[in-house]
Amino acid sequence: MKKPILFAALGICVLLFSCRVVLVPEYSAELENQIVQGAKLNDRLYINLLDANPDKRSFQLYADKYAEIESEIHSILLKNETRKKNNDMLVIIRNLDSVFVKYKNHHKSKNTLSDGEIKLNQVYIKDLWKPLLIAESGLKKAKTVTR
């Protein structure tokens, strides 16, 4: 009589402690690196704009850099769209993409930017890259905790 109860209790313990529910995507070192590189490119764009004389801030002079950064954001978005359980990060990336395109189009329509506009854009864009990096880095920490 004791053996069936013992086996049942052992079976329940095995089931309870061997199962784990994963509600977040797997960590990707490649994506984390791509996020860091994208943020660096974006920051460099604004640093270069600030270093340039106001008459040398024409959108056309920086169009290639804008395109490079925008394609990097789209690449990060595409890679995240293929990951399971990734809705929160998709919201962050889409917000980043939306604001980046808004700032790019503003520069394109004005053809130049003041120091104040550049500094504000730089700060706001950095504040959009940061949660994306924190989210991906958090997955690395979650991975080490669950092992």
Closest residue by Cα to residue 39 from 140, 120, 128, 99: 128
Geometric angle at alpha carbon 103, from 98 and 106, rounded to 5°: 125
Task: Supply the range of the domain harboring residue 74.
Answer: 34-141
**Domain membership flag for residue 25:** no
Query: Does the residue 7 lie in any domain?
Result: no
- Is position 68 within any domain? yes
Specify if 18 maps to a domain.
Answer: no
- Would you state the pLDDT for residue 140? 86
Q: Please give the Cα distance from 49 to 67 (Å, whole number).
A: 15
Q: Dihedral sign, CA of 123, 124, 126, 127?
A: positive
The residue with tokens 């704009």 is 49
- The pLDDT, as a whole number, for residue 141 is 79
Domain count for the chain: 1
- Looking at the domain assignment, is residue 5 inside a domain? no
Q: Is the pTM of this model over 0.95?
A: no
Q: Is residue 28 part of a domain?
A: no
pLDDT of residue 18: 62
pLDDT at 146: 55
In a domain? residue 9: no
Residue 108 maps to a domain: yes
Q: What's the angle, vertex CA 50, arms to CA 131 and CA 105, rounded to 5?
A: 65
CB atoms within 10 A of CB 94: 13
pLDDT means per 10 residues in the chain (147 residues)? 67 62 76 98 99 97 99 98 90 98 99 98 98 92 63
Q: Report the alpha-carbon distance of residue 122 to residue 116 in Å, rounded.
A: 10
